[in-house]
A and B are shown apart, each in its own frame.
Chain A
Amino acid sequence: MTDKKRTRSPGFVLRPMKRTGTQVARSLILGKPNTILYPYQKLALPPTYRGKHVVDFKKCIGCSNCVQICPNDCMWMEKIDDPELGKIERPGVDYARCLFCGLCVEVCPTVAIHETGEFELADRTREKLRYGPKELRDDSYADKISEERQKRSLPVLDMGKCTSCEKCAGECPEMCIAMVPVEGVGKKKPEINLAKCTSCGKCAVVCADKALTMMDAYESYFEMPEPRFILKNCTGCGACAKACPADCIYMIEMPGTERVLKDGKKSKPKKRAVFVLEKCVGCGKCFRACKFKAIEMPGVRK
Chain B
Amino acid sequence: MNLFEFSYGIIHWLVDLVNNLWYWLGDVLPWVFGDFFDAVGDFAASHGHIAVMAMLVEALIIIIIGLVNVLNFIWIDRKFMIITPAKVDRMGFLLAPVIFVGSSIAAMCTIPMGFEFYVGTNDTPYSSYPLPGGPEYPGVPASALVAFALFAIAPFAILTAGWSSNNKYTLIGGLRSAAQMMSYEIPMLLCVASVVLLAGSFSFFGIVEAQHDIWFAIPLFLGFIVFLTCLVAEVEIQPFDLPEAEAELVEGWTTEYGGARFGLFMMTGYLRGYIGGALAVAMFLGGWHGPAIIPDPIWFLIKAYIVFVVIEWMRWSVPRVRVDQILNIGWKRLLPLAMLNLLIAAILRTLEVF
Contacts and interface: CB of A to CB of B under 8 A. Distances in A.
A13 interface: yes
Interface in B280-321: 313-314, 316-318
Nearest to A20: B317
A20 B313 CA distance: 8
Contacts of A19: 317
The dominant DSSP class at the A interface is: helix
B8 to A, nearest CB: 16
Interface string B232-257: 00000001000000000000000000
Interface in A5-35: 13, 16-17, 19-21
Contacts of B316: 20
A81 B314 CA distance: 68
Interface in A132-178: none
Contacts of A13: 239, 314, 317-318
Nearest to B310: A17
A194 B247 CA distance: 62
A19 B317 CA distance: 8
Nearest to B238: A13
Interface string B180-220: 00000000000000000000000000000000000000000
Interface string B58-94: 0000000000000000000000000000000000000
Nearest to B2: A39
B5 to A, nearest CB: 14
Contacts of B318: 13, 16-17
A66 B316 CA distance: 50
A17 B316 CA distance: 8
A117 to B, nearest CB: 23
A19 B314 CA distance: 11
B312 to A, nearest CB: 11
Contacts of A21: 313
Contacts of B317: 13, 16-17, 19-20
A28 to B, nearest CB: 13
A139 B117 CA distance: 76
Nearest to B239: A13
B115 to A, nearest CB: 35
A17 B318 CA distance: 8
A20 B315 CA distance: 11
A21 B310 CA distance: 10
Contacts of A16: 317-318
Contacts of B314: 13, 17
A16 B315 CA distance: 11
B221 to A, nearest CB: 15
Interface in B248-277: none
B4 to A, nearest CB: 11
Contacts of B239: 13
Interface in B315-331: 316-318
Interface of B: 239, 313-314, 316-318
15 contacts: A13-B239, A13-B314, A13-B317, A13-B318, A16-B317, A16-B318, A17-B313, A17-B314, A17-B317, A17-B318, A19-B317, A20-B313, A20-B316, A20-B317, A21-B313
Interface of A: 13, 16-17, 19-21
- List the 7 closest pairs (A to B, CB-CB), nearest first: A16-B317, A17-B317, A20-B317, A13-B318, A16-B318, A13-B314, A20-B316
Given A13-B314, A16-B317, A17-B313, 9 more contacts: A13-B239, A13-B317, A16-B318, A17-B317, A19-B317, A20-B313, A20-B316, A20-B317, A21-B313
